[in-house]
Amino acid sequence: MVDGKKHDVLHDVNAFLPQNSISVILGKSGCGKTTFLRILANLEQYDQGEVSINNDEKIGFVFQEPRLMPWLSVSKNITFGLEKQMINLNKLEELMNLIGLKKFEKAYPHQLSGGMQQRVALARALAYDPSIILMDEPFAALDYFTRETMQKELIRIYQLKKKSIIFVTHSIEEAIAIGQNILVFNEGKVHAQFNLEQYEYPRDVLSPSLIEIKKEILKKLA
Ligand SMILES: Nc1ncnc2c1ncn2[C@@H]1O[C@H](COP(=O)(O)OP(=O)(O)OP(=O)(O)O)[C@@H](O)[C@H]1O
Ligand SMILES: [Mg+2]
């Protein structure tokens, strides 16, 4: 609602997001990507249609900014809000190793770089042991090289944990580097869908076939 008026953000969104794969929602600013993720997470109401997610699926959310508690250490940030029985020290240690921050478990957020903070945010989502992880432009604020490293880390974690990841981005290159399935949103609709399952990781986004896909996506976004 804006000024009491209903604002139609998404319509005709018909999408199937396969389990245990990385699906990317790609689109320009304002096309409804965050709204779509919030609907999946049951944080946003919708007035038409249907979202079908198995009842036993647990959903984790990683936001664009790390949203860490500044007064809590890295390990406390990761376990914050979890029931005691949900995480034990072994699991915490495994997570710290997974995100490569074992030496920083006692550090505070202000002592970490942006990329490290985003790793902690990812670990916090993983600690809850979700089967689906929704990620809303989690690497958008990072420089090119850190972003590339984080994409590789995400793929490594995905290969180890085989979660269903739904990743929002406005970067075509990022979508091509990580997505097994890319949904191009334009004006509140799914404008096109690309299946990249046959491209193994790590991908060379400058290879001729992926550059062709990039051109196709650009046409759909324009
Ligand atoms: N709570 C809200 N009330 C009213 N309008 C909203 C609300 N949230 C989003 N919108 C509108 O919905 C549209 C889509 O917003 P959304 O945040 O989903 O876009 P986005 O694709 O995530 O954009 P960005 O890439 O900039 O994050 C925008 O026009 C925005 O103004
Ligand atoms: Mg958004």
Q: What is the pLDDT of residue 213?
A: 97
Q: What is the pLDDT of residues 6-21, one digit of tens each?
A: 777 788 788 888 899 9
The mean pLDDT value for 187-204 works out to 93
Q: Phi and psi at residue 138, in whole multiples of 5°?
A: -70, -20
Residue bearing the bigger pLDDT, 85 or 173:
173
The whole-number average pLDDT for the span 81-89 is 75
Does residue 193 or residue 48 have the better pLDDT?
193
pLDDT band at 95 (very low <50, low <70, confident <90, very high): confident
Q: What is the pLDDT of residue 9?
A: 78
Looking at residue 2, its pLDDT comes to 62
Beta bridge partners of 169: 26
Q: Is the pLDDT of residue 44 over 90?
A: no
pLDDT above 70 covers a percentage of the chain that reads 98
Residue-wise pLDDT tens digits, 171-194 = 999 999 999 999 999 988 899 999
Tell me the Ramachandran region of residue 20: left when phi exceeds 0, alpha when psi lies from -120 to 50, beta otherwise.
left
Which amino acid residue places its CA nearest to atom 16 of ligand 1? 32
Residue 73, pLDDT > 80, answer: yes
* Mutation test residue for ligand 1: of 5, 35, 137, the one with most atoms within 8 Å of CB: 35
pLDDT at 47: 84
Please check the confidence at residue 5 and state whether its pLDDT lies above 80. no
Give me the chain's average pLDDT, please: 90
**Residue 98 reports pLDDT greater than 90:** no
Distance CA 29, CA 32 (A): 8
Q: How far apart are CA 214 and CA 218, in angstroms?
A: 6
pTM of the model: 0.91
Whole-angstrom Cα distance, residue 184 to residue 194?
8
For a mutational test of ligand 1's pocket, the pick from 3, 6, 8, 9, i.e. the residue with the most ligand atoms closer than 8 A to its C-beta, is: 9
Ligand 1 atom 28, closest CA = 30
Q: Report the nearest-CA residue for atom 7 of ligand 1.
A: 1
Token pair, residue 192, equals 């096109």
DSSP H/E element including 76: helix 74-79
Ligand 1 neighbours, Cβ below 6 Å, are 1-2, 7, 9, 27, 29-35, 170
CA of 18 to the centre of ligand 1 (A): 25
Joined tokens for residue 106 = 């006692």
DSSP label at residue 207: S
